[in-house]
Amino acid sequence: MLGHFNSIIAMAANAAKQTKLPMAATDSPNLTNDKNGPKKTTFQSCKATSVATNCDPRTNLPDLKWLGLYYVIYIGAGTLSFLALRNHIRGKKTNDFIDSLYMSVVTMTTVGYGDLVPHDFLSQVVCTGFITVGMLLFGIVVKLAAKYLVFKQQKVLINALHTARKMGPMEALNEIESIEIDYTKCIISLIAMAVHFVIGVSVLVNVEGMEIEDAVYCACTTMTTVGFGDESFSSEFGRMFGVLWIFTGTSCLGQLFLYVAEVYTDIEAKKLVKWVIASNIIDKKDFEAADNLEKGKVHGAADFILYKLKEVRKIKQEDISCAMKDAGVDDRSVFDVIPAQSSEKK
């Protein structure tokens, strides 16, 4: 277990170098709760003032300007392509340029109303290529979102280990336990979606002339990218508005999903950090309680190693008993006296 934990420390140190975190590269934290250990510092005196406050992985993410540039080029190319093929597209039309831009956005966001569709082989081939490229760009978005969540979890672990090294494991555990999960971004995202939804319904009623129930239905199917197509934007101003509204609406929905995943990641990261630190704490009083001074029995390093191996299920009690029996030694040791930290509790 000690070697496994040192490997974790080594990986965390390497990550700290890459992310320029205030963590020593070679020192490993002292995770024994010994009263004779180094003098403990207050939490405010540590550089890592909180396990979570220094975790802002967005500062180390790749520049998103390139992704935005790719989407601008993608939308521009799609708009020009559909504009050139305007005579090969059927449906209710208003302005050629607006219709082309509208069709590009509706296709890119997978809303797909079906009010403008290709109707011959050439336009279908172009539309197929446009959809394929769009899926590849969406894969980049998913990759960045996954990297954001993983990187944030890594920084939580690194800062927690740094805090444990500076303050001691018990204080670090108490600090981790006191940290509350932040739901602010989820709430803000929900409010933004509600406002966006109301604006869309209002335009659909006042500009497109829909009934309120049809407008709510159309707004719901659009923001969830279902887009049945029986209700959609049909006027020139409505489609101009729809280009912006559809893009921002689907983006808000994706942002909400990201924030929900971020909250879940924070919860799991908190559990992971607690497990990493707590699974390596052996309190001095536990060994003192296991000693039997009247019978002259004091547990040493070998007992500690056996206890840790059994704790991580590298060996079984039967193996220990068999080895002790062959050696003619009593197999009752520290691993029978000290309650093992079960994996279920971790």
What pLDDT tens digit does each residue of the chain (346 aa) get?
A: 334 334 433 444 444 444 433 333 334 344 444 444 444 444 333 433 344 444 444 444 446 788 888 999 999 999 999 999 999 999 999 999 999 999 999 999 999 999 999 999 999 999 999 999 999 999 988 888 888 888 888 888 888 888 777 877 777 778 888 888 889 999 999 999 999 999 999 999 999 999 999 999 999 999 999 999 899 999 999 999 999 999 999 989 999 999 999 999 889 888 888 887 776 665 555 555 555 545 555 556 666 676 667 666 677 777 777 877 777 665 554 444 444 444 444 3
Domains for the chain: give ranges and CATH numbers: 62-288 (1.10.287.70)
What's the pLDDT score for residue 105?
A: 95
Rounded distance between C-alpha atoms, residue 230 and residue 261, angstroms: 33
What's the pLDDT score for residue 283?
A: 52
DSSP string, 105-148: HHHHTT---SSEEE-SHHHHHHHHHHHHHHHHHHHHHHHHHHHH
What's the pLDDT score for residue 179?
A: 81
What's the pLDDT score for residue 187?
A: 95
Task: Name 297's bridge partners.
Answer: 292
Q: Tally the C-alpha atoms within 13 A of residue 146's C-alpha that lie toward its C-beta.
A: 6
What's the pLDDT score for residue 152?
A: 84
Task: Name 116's bridge partners.
Answer: 91
Residues composing the chain? 346
Identify the three-state secondary structure at position 117: strand
Amino acid at the residue 272: L
Query: In whole angstroms, how far apart are CA 50 and each of 31, 171, 269, 279?
Result: 18, 11, 14, 21
Which residues, other chains included, contact 107 with Cβ-Cβ below 8 Å and sequence gap of 6+? 78, 127, 130, 131, 134
